Structure 1
Amino acid sequence: MTKKRITKIDPEEKLSHYLDHQSNQKKRKSQNKISASLSNLHSERKSALVKRLGLIITISIICLICLGYYISPLANVRSVRVEGADDLPAEEVVKTADIKASDRVIDYLLHWNDVDEDLANRYTEVKNVDIKVNHFNQLNLNIVEFKTIGYIKKEKGYCKILSNGKLGTQLISWNKIDQDKPVFIGYNHEVSLKNDLQLFNSLPEEFQNQIKLLSGNTRRKSQVIFVMKNGNVVIGNISTIKRKLKYYNEINNKVKRNSLIDLEVGAYSRPLTSSEKRAYGLI
């Protein structure tokens, strides 16, 4: 019999081709991933560089524009407009703020608090100042004043009585005052004005709105006189008037125009005499 030939097969040799193929596949995939990753990284770096360059260029252009504006005549103050303070003289306000045509607009924007302080020190009416710029070189001074509580009669006009307890710096004519606000007349002493002002502020708003005048021409320091908008006069005592106001409406509804309502000692009324009407400015 013929012996069969046995061929020996080495498994490792047979598998080596397959394993080599698999290894090559993994290497190619790995290389492709690295290549893609490097490409993305390069793209991101390029994009970041472009953004940085764009930002630098933009900032540089803005800086050049600002510098060009600052050194140009366009940056000089061309005009000043004063708003919110009709009773204050505009030219004097600008002079007090020390604003000159040769100055730079931006200097006042950076140091607006100096202008605020200068005007507040000069004018008791000024609460604060806001500075704005229009058309590159026009300064707008927007002045906010303290609230006006009333007015005090002076020899040649009227001064505002402000919510900060001070008097305004400007004299105002009768036709320019707010007719809805009370006028304090006959006050030669600051102490009596201060006391009556405190009393006025403590009164009910409904009663405040009916007062036309407060007279300082009283017989006693403790006395207070209100000339009402309806033509009547109310007399009271500083320490008791608030408590006795509960009788006012009842009496006021019964009396005629130009009557005296006395709440100082009791609570009664009578017609005003001609001399009293003249003294209180009712005729």
Structure 2
Amino acid sequence: MTKKRVTKIDPKEKLSPYLDHQSNRQKKKTKAKTKVSASLSQLRNERKSALLKRLGLLVGISLFAILVLGYYISPLANVKSVQIEGETDLPVKDVVTATGIKASDKVVDYLFNKQVVNNKLSQKYSEIKNVNFRVKHFNNLVIKIDEYHTKGYIKTNKGYRKILSHGKLGSQYIPWSKVSSDKPVFVGYNHEISLKETLNLFNSLPSDFQDQIKLLSGNTRRKSQVIFLMKDGNVVIGNVSTLKSKLKYYNKIKTKVGKNTLIDLEVGAFSRPLTPNEKRAYGIT
């Protein structure tokens, strides 16, 4: 009788794939749990950090608001002094009075509501174009005045007044010592209409010709006539309607004549020496 051959089987070998699979699954589960745990921990930290930032921002804003409110209701926010800045001939004390600013007023109110003061001053003083405010040392209010450009001056019985770039006359009478030699003087203009017409003509002229004019005389024979005393001592006569178009002849004539010459551009275009009486009349010596 033949004996059957018995093959030995190692149970571990048969179970090894299963055990390895189970082991890998267990490792993956452990790894996944670790990742989830790490993600949750990171998320909690991020949320905590964001919460702290928002809390810090709210605290900062609250503290700032408390400081601002505390400053506003304290005497430190009251106007202590008012200072005027800018090149102006206006009386400083009168300007400050015209603003209506009181010592009990708050400095901050004027920083955000300058238009009220601007309107008050521009209505009283035609020279003022705009005003701006700034604060110095907590409660010292500084008003910066921006004035209209001065085109010239008009002579009156009380003194000289500025002719401003927007066509109005200055509110103040100034002495001859404050009249700029760079600007022309309008004399003999008793009617505002004739002054306005001449001023419109003057503004339409080339700037290089404007700079040569020393005086504009309203003492003319005709309403349409204009008389310019030039800085070189010559006198130019023209017509309100045609002078601008005839200036091309002025430069040609000017190069051929000397000082104290009358250059007439009213009808034609010619020149002649000024008479002694004309020199005295125009103040030419």
Common topology (TM > 0.5): yes
Give the aligned residue type for 2:5: K
**Match for 1:141 among 140, 143, 146?**
143
Question: What does the per-residue CA deviation read over 1:129-164, in whole Å, with 9 as the maximum and x for residues that have no partner?
Answer: 111111111111111111111111111111111111
Mapped pair 1:103 → 2:102: no
* Contact kept? 2:152, 2:164, Cα under 8 Å: yes
Q: How does 1:45-194 map to 2 (within 5 A)?
A: 45-194=47-196
Map of 1:263 onto structure 2: 265
CA drift at 1:207: 1.1
Give the aligned residue type for 1:110: F
Map of 1:200 onto structure 2: 202
CA drift at 1:211: 0.3
Q: Percent identity?
A: 59
Q: How many residues align?
A: 283
* Contact kept? 2:213, 2:229, Cα under 8 Å: yes
Map of 1:218 onto structure 2: 220
Question: What does the per-residue CA deviation read over 1:67-95, in whole Å, with 9 as the maximum and x for residues that have no partner?
Answer: 22112221111111111242111111111
* Contact kept? 2:88, 2:147, Cα under 8 Å: no
Cα distance in 2 between the residues matched to 1:71 and 1:204: 57
- Larger mean Cα displacement after TM superposition, 236-245 or 222-231: 236-245
* Contact kept? 2:235, 2:260, Cα under 8 Å: yes
Cα distance in 1 between the residues matched to 2:258 and 2:35: 104
Cα distance in 2 between the residues matched to 1:245 and 1:5: 136
Mapped pair 1:24 → 2:33: no
Question: What does the per-residue CA deviation read over 1:190-238, in whole Å, with 9 as the maximum and x for residues that have no partner?
Answer: 1111111111111121111100000000010111100111111111111
Cα distance in 2 between the residues matched to 1:259 and 1:179: 22
Cα distance in 2 between the residues matched to 1:168 and 1:24: 96
**Match for 1:242 among 241, 244, 252?**
244
CA drift at 1:60: 1.8
* Contact kept? 2:152, 2:163, Cα under 8 Å: yes
Cα distance in 2 between the residues matched to 1:153 and 1:159: 7
* Contact kept? 2:154, 2:185, Cα under 8 Å: yes
Partner of 1:74: helix, strand, or coil? helix
Question: What does the per-residue CA deviation read over 1:233-271, in whole Å, with 9 as the maximum and x for residues that have no partner?
Answer: 111111222222222223223333222222222322233
CA drift at 1:35: 0.7
Structure 2 gaps of 5+ residues are none
CA drift at 1:9: 7.6
Cα distance in 2 between the residues matched to 1:227 and 1:40: 88
How big is the alpha-carbon RMSD for the aligned residues of Structure 1 and Structure 2?
A: 1.8
Cα distance in 2 between the residues matched to 1:169 and 1:194: 17
Question: What does the per-residue CA deviation read over 1:170-206, in whole Å, with 9 as the maximum and x for residues that have no partner?
Answer: 1111111221111111001111111111111111211
Cα distance in 2 between the residues matched to 1:61 and 1:12: 74
Cα distance in 2 between the residues matched to 1:18 and 1:268: 122
- Larger mean Cα displacement after TM superposition, 244-253 or 91-100: 244-253
* Contact kept? 2:184, 2:216, Cα under 8 Å: yes
Map of 2:5 onto structure 1: 4
CA drift at 1:18: 1.6
Mapped pair 1:278 → 2:241: no
Cα distance in 2 between the residues matched to 1:213 and 1:30: 97
CA drift at 1:114: 1.1
TM score, norm. by length of structure 1: 0.93
Cα distance in 2 between the residues matched to 1:248 and 1:110: 53
Give the aligned residue type for 1:183: V
